[in-house]
Amino acid sequence: MTGSSDARTAELGERLAAVRRRLDAAVEAAHRPAGFCQLLVVTKFFPADDVRRLLQLGERAFGESREPEAGRKVAEVLGDWESPEPGDVPVFDMIGSVQSKKARSVARWARAVHSVDRPKVVDALDRAAVAALDEGERADPLGILLQVSLDGDPQRGGVVEEDLPALAERVVEADSLRLRGLMVIAPLDGEPGHWMAEAARIHEAFRGRFDAAELSAGMSGDMEEAVAAGSTCVRVGTAIMGDRPLISQ
Ligand SMILES: *Cc1c(COP(=O)(O)O)cnc(C)c1O
């Protein structure tokens, strides 16, 4: 188990502090209020003990991307979580793509899903969230961020801009989902600043039409550009956790 003074905790603490400094500086440079942009620490491929170390370091929001690894890890971490104050409970978001058949398990642990890009997945998550609410496995509707494709590449996923309003309507009409905003992953080619400006333009139009103000944009390599474009949530893995292990769990 984790001691507060082990070498890994020290390493995570240093990298976390560096990322928090980058984030604070970016928020300030963008003339946004402190705390405007949430940090989601992406712990995919890393063990439950690392999540516990990050909890000790004060983090409460995490991103996971694969079932069933994610569900198991969340159950393990929450199983021995002793909340310092009532209501101080860690939250886990699903940032990877969800297959319909995994929707039921995701709805048990995820605060929100950031990667929704198809009507079929909206329907599966709604059915799953209805069941999870009925069974007392969750207390609130499942948050939904629609992943937008910035370049139309089907590999990376995401709904193209033209199809976004219809997909958003479907979420709004669902019984147990709450539309929270948009998510983007910048394509690797070209300038991050260019893609983030494109995300900002799409987000602006979207917000004019839907009550869903969040923009999940920015990772280890493009946090600054994302915050400049109005990101409300950066998803940072490598810069905090280190390189992902080659062997998946
Ligand atoms: C893995 C992942 C991240 C984290 O990326 P890093 O470059 O390691 O910070 C962010 N978003 C999504 C959707 C991911 O799958």
178 against 244, higher pLDDT: 178
Packing angle, helices 69-79 and 48-56, rounded to 10: 50
Of all residues in the chain, the percent with pLDDT exceeding 70 is 96
For 130, counting Cβ atoms within 10 Å of its Cβ (0-12 exposed, 13-18 middle, 19+ buried), the class is: middle
Q: Which atom of ligand 1 is nearest to the CA of 221?
A: 7
Distance from residue 19's CA to the centre of ligand 1 (Å): 14
Model confidence at 84, in pLDDT bands (50, 70, 90)?
A: confident
Say if CB 176 and CB 126 are below 8 A apart: yes
Nearest CA to ligand 1 atom 6: 237
Question: What number is the average pLDDT over the span 168-197?
Answer: 96
DSSP reduced 3-state for 147: strand
Say if CB 50 and CB 90 are below 8 A apart: no
Packing angle, helices 119-134 and 164-173, rounded to 10: 20
Say if CB 111 and CB 180 are below 8 A apart: no
Distance from residue 86's CA to the centre of ligand 1 (Å): 31
Question: What number is the average pLDDT over the span 87-103?
Answer: 95
Question: What number is the average pLDDT over the span 99-120?
Answer: 97
Distance from residue 80's CA to the centre of ligand 1 (Å): 27
CA gap 180, 159 in Å, rounded:
16
Mean pLDDT of all residues belonging to the chain: 94
Locate 196 and state its tokens.
């983030």
pLDDT surpassing 90 at residue 4:
no
Please give the helix or strand (H or E) that residue 97 lies within, else none. Answer: none
CA gap 57, 65 in Å, rounded:
22
pLDDT surpassing 70 at residue 3:
no
Q: Which atom of ligand 1 is nearest to the CA of 240?
A: 9
Q: Which atom of ligand 1 is nearest to the CA of 244?
A: 8
**Backbone torsions φ then ψ of 83, nearest 5 degrees:** -75, 125
Distance from residue 193's CA to the centre of ligand 1 (Å): 17
Locate 216 and state its tokens.
């999940």
Please give the helix or strand (H or E) that residue 197 lies within, else none. Answer: helix 192-209
Q: What is the pLDDT of residues 154-164, one digit of tens each?
A: 778 899 999 99
Q: Which atom of ligand 1 is nearest to the CA of 220?
A: 9
110: left (phi over 0), alpha (psi -120 to 50) or beta: beta
Distance from residue 237's CA to the centre of ligand 1 (Å): 6
Q: How many CA atoms lie within 13 A of 90 on its CB side?
A: 30
Q: Which atom of ligand 1 is nearest to the CA of 114?
A: 13
Question: What number is the average pLDDT over the span 86-106?
Answer: 94
Distance from residue 38's CA to the centre of ligand 1 (Å): 15
Distance from residue 83's CA to the centre of ligand 1 (Å): 28
- Give the binding-site residues of ligand 1, using a 6 Å CB cut-off: 42, 44, 65, 95-96, 185, 219-221, 235-239
